[in-house]
Structure 1
Amino acid sequence: MPSETTPAPHRRIAAVGALLALAAGLAVIVWALWQHPLRLPSTLLLLLVTVVAAWTALVHRGWTRIVAVAVAVAALVGVIVLLDVGSLVRLILVVALAVVATAAARVALGSAEPAPGPGDARRVPPAHRGVLLMNPWSGGGKVERFALVQEAVRLGVTPIVLQRGDDLRELAERAVADGADVIGMAGGDGSQALVADVARRHDLPFVCVPAGTRNHFALDLGLDREDVAAALAAYGDAVERRIDLALVGDRVFVNNASLGVYATVVQSEGYREAKVSTAIGMLPDLVGPGAEPFDLRFTGADGKPVDTADVLLVSNGVYRLDDLRGFGTREHLDAGVLGIVSVTVGREVGGLIAAQASGRLRHFAGYREWTAPEFVVDSGDELVDVGVDGEALRLPTPLRFRCLPGALRVRTPLDAPGAPPVGVAHAGLGKAVGGLFRVAAGRDGQV
C-alpha cells in the first residue's frame, strides 16, 4: 500500500513516539548492563535451561519428567534470584516501551490514504446497504461487550445476530439476495472465512470485525484488535483492496490449516475444557521417544516425497517464521501463493530451541518452508485431523490445497494502523528506524 507524499499529522506524532520509546528502552538496557554486566547473560542462559527442561518434561513420562521438572524449577528459581526488584522493574519497563514503540511504528509506517492505481488499494465511498453478521458467543461475548448491534445501527449498517441453530452461510446468502452491497462478519476466523467465501462468490466487498478470540486475520489486515467497534468504520469512507483466499477441498480458509501435533491435540474431547492439561497428557505420545510418526505424505521443498512431519502448516500467504515469536503473522495477503512449513522434531528438541534463541530457526535441521500455488497431502488414513482457522476437523484424504489469488475485496477503515506487526519487523530495525525518522521529518517513510 503506497504511502502518501506528506505523512498525516497523526503518523508524524506516532513516529516521534516510537523513536522516543525505542531510545528510552535502549537507555534502560545500557544502564542495566553498566551496573551488572554479568547478570543479563546469566539470566538468559538460565531461561534457556528452563525452556529446554520444561519441553523435556512435556514430551517424557516417569523419572525423566520428574528430573526435567526439577531442573526447570531450579533454573527458574535462579532467574528469580538474579532478577531483584530493581531488575524486574527495569524488565517490565523495557517490555512496555517495546510494545509502545511497535504499536506506534505500525501507525507511523502504515499508510492511511493510499493513492489509487491498477491493482492497488483505493479509497471507496460509504456502503449504501451494509450488512454485518454477528456471532454473540464469539470471543467471550464481544458483540455485547462492545455494543456492536447499537454501533452498527448508529452507522446505518443492518445487524444480523446469529441465534441457536442458524446456518451462517444461509444468513449471508439471504443478506446478499436482499440487496447488501457490503457484507461483514463479527466473530472468529472460522466465521470470517465462511462469510468471506459468500462475499467472494458474489464479488462483494467484505468487512472483518475482530470479535473472536485471537483474530489473526484482522491482525494481518492491519486492524486494531483491541478496538473492536472501530472496524465498523470500514462501512463508511474506506480503503478497499483485493487479497487472497485459500481452499482445502471446497472449504475456504483465511489463515491456515494445520496437521500433525496441534491438529491432533485440539481434536481431543477434553481440549476445550482443559487445554494445558490435555496437551501435557498427549505430547509424550505424539512427539516423545517411541511416538508413532504421523502418516502425512507430500512433496517437500526440494521436490522429493516426504512421508511424515510433526507439524505441517499450510497457510493463506507466507507466515513470517524467522523467529517463533513471529508465528501466526504474515507480511502480505496478496502474494498469490500458499505458504508451507513442515517441522520434524525427532530427538532434536535442543537444536530447535537453540535455533530459536539464536534467531536462526530456518537453519534447524528439521525445518522446511516453501511456497506453491497448490499442495496435496495424502495419508494411509481415510480421515486426518486438521485444524482449519482454529476449528478442529476430520477431513478425507487426499487433502488438496489451492490458493485463490485476489479472490476477496476487503474494506478497512481509513485510520486503521494499516500494517501487521510482522511487516514492521520484517523491514529490519535499521530500515524501520530510518522510516520513522523520515515520517517524523514529514517525508515518505515507506520501508
Structure 2
Amino acid sequence: MNHPPHPAPRLSTPMSRGWCPVKPPRRPVLLVNPRSGDGAATRNEIVERARERGIETVTLGPGDDLRTRALAVVADGADALGMAGGDGSLADVAAVAAAHGLPFVCIPVGTRNHFALDLGVDRQDVPGALDAFTDGVERLIDVGEVNGRIFLNNVSLGIYGEAVQQASYRDTKVRTLAETARRVLGPGGRMPALRLIDDTGREHAHLAVLLVSNNPYALNGPGLGTRPTLAGGRLGILVLDTPDERQHPPERAWSAHQLEVQAPATVHAGIDGEAVELVAPLEFAVRPAALRVRISARHPGASPAARIPSPRSHRAGAQPSPPTAE
C-alpha cells in the first residue's frame, strides 16, 4: 500500500518567534542616509517608495548631525522612527527611539547590514522592509551600552579598533586589518594597553582583539557569525591575546551581563563599524528589552543561527572568530 508523502514542514513565521502584529503608526518618519552602501537608498528608490506608503522622509545632507535630526522629528510628533543607512547610523537613531519608547524600523541600505541579518530583515528585499511601517510585527530586543553609548552589534578594540580609524578601512577592510596587525604586533609596534578579568578570574593584559557584542555570536555550524538571539540579556565577549602571551590558550569567549575594561587613557574603538574614541575605564552593559523593533510581517524575523538551530551555536558564551566591523 502506497502512503502519501509527508507534507513539507512549514517554515516558522515571525509570529512564531515572539513577534506580535501591531497597528501602523500615525506619523512615521524615516531618516535616509543617501551615501550609505554606495547610494543603495537611491538605487532602491527608498524615498519615493516610502512616500507612496505615507511615510515622511528626512534625507541627510553632508553636514547634518543624525541624532539632532532624529530628536527634532520626535519633538515634532513622530510616533515611529526608521533609518535607512548602515549599522552605525541605525544605532544612532535606535538610541533616540529607545530613549523615547518609540518603535524602530531598520531599512538595510548599508554595506554589510549585520544588524538587519540578525534581526531577521530580508536584506534582499530592501523596499519590502518599508512594510514594517504599514504591515509590521513588533518585539522587544536588547541593546548594548559602553560608557552610556548604545550599540546594536558590537564594539571592537585592539587591532580592529585601530584599523577602523584608518581612512582606507571602508574600501579595503582585509588589507587594512592585515597592515594594522603587522604594524601594532611587529617589532616596535604598540598595542593599546587594555586589561580585563574574564569569567574564570584570569587577567588578560596583552590583548590583540577584544570584541564585545550585544548578545553572543554563534561559534560554528549553521549560522556561523550571526547571533541566535537579540533578547538573551547577555553580552558576548571574545578576547584574543597577543602571540607573546603563551601561558594559556590565546582565545577566550564567554558571556556576561557587564564588563569593565581598564586602559591608560583614551582608546580607539569601532562601535557598529564607526570609528570612535572612548575614555577609560570602559564600562560595558546590556540593556534587556530596551528597544521596540518592527519588521515586515513577510520577513523571516530571525537570524540564520536561529532559523537553523544547532546545539553548539546556542552554547552559553559561544562566539565565532571576530566578525569584521561594518
Structure with the larger strand share: 2
Corresponding residue for 1:379?
263
Cα drift, residue 369 of structure 1 = 1.2
SS in 1 for 2:139: strand
TM-score (ref. length: structure 2) = 0.86
Greater CA radius of gyration, 1 or 2?
A: 1
Shift of 1:315: 0.5
SS at match of 2:92: helix
Q: How many Å apart are 1:112 and its aligned residue?
A: 3.7
* Equivalent residue, structure 2, for 1:18: none
1:113 aligns with 2:113: no
Say if 2:171 is the partner of 1:171: no
Once superposed, what is the RMSD of the aligned Cα atoms? 2.5
The 1-side partners of 2:180 and 2:193 are apart by 17
SS at match of 2:207: coil
Q: Retained in 1: the 8 A contact 2:143–2:287? A: yes
8 Å CA contact retained: 1:114, 1:123: no
Residue 370 of structure 1 and its aligned partner are, at CA, apart by 1.2
Shift in Å at residue 143 of structure 1?
1.2
Please, which runs of 5 or more residues in structure 2 have no aligned partner? 1-6, 313-326
Partner of 2:162: 264
TM superposition outliers: structure 1 runs of 4+ over 6 Å: none
Give the structure-1-normalised TM-score. 0.64
* From 165, 184, 189, the counterpart of 1:286: 184
Aligned to 1:254: 152
Residue 331 of structure 1 corresponds to which residue in structure 2?
228
Alpha-carbon distance between aligned partners in 1 of 2:275 and 2:27, rounded to the nearest angstrom: 34
Aligned to 1:196: 94
1:221-370 equivalences under 5 Å are 221-272=119-170, 274-288=172-186, 292=190, 294-322=192-220, 326-327=224-225, 329-344=226-241, 346=243, 365-370=249-254
Q: How many residues align?
A: 305
1:422 to 270, 294, 305: 305
Unaligned runs of 5+ in 1: 1-11, 16-107, 350-363, 430-447
Superposed displacement of residue 278, structure 1: 3.5
DSSP-derived class of the 2:122 partner: coil
Whole-Å separation in 1 of the counterparts to 2:173 and 2:39: 20
Whether the 8 Å CA contact 1:373–1:402 is kept in 2: the answer is yes
Higher share of residues assigned helix: 1
- Residue 279 of structure 2 is aligned to residue 396 of structure 1: yes
| Displacement of 1:258 | 0.5
* Deviation sequence 1:47-97 (CA, Å, 0-9, x none): xxxxxxxxxxxxxxxxxxxxxxxxxxxxxxxxxxxxxxxxxxxxxxxxxxx
Instruction: Write the distance in 1 (CA, Å) between the matches of 2:208 and 2:80.
Output: 41
CA contact (8 A) 1:301 1:369 kept: no
The C-alpha deviation readout for 1:7-47, integer Å capped at 9, x for no partner, is xxxxx87x6xxxxxxxxxxxxxxxxxxxxxxxxxxxxxxxx
C-alpha distance in 2 between matches for 1:285 and 1:324: 34
Q: Is the 8 A contact 1:238 1:413 kept in 2?
A: yes
Give 1:127 shift.
1.7
Decide whether aligned partners of structure 1 residues 265 and 423 sit closer, same or farther in structure 2, where only a CA change above 3 A counts: same
Q: 1:323, CA displacement in angstroms?
A: 6.1
* Secondary structure at the counterpart of residue 293 of structure 2: strand
State the 1:337 CA deviation.
Answer: 1.3
Change (3 A) 1:425 1:261: farther
Does residue 412 (structure 1) correspond to residue 295 (structure 2)? The answer is yes
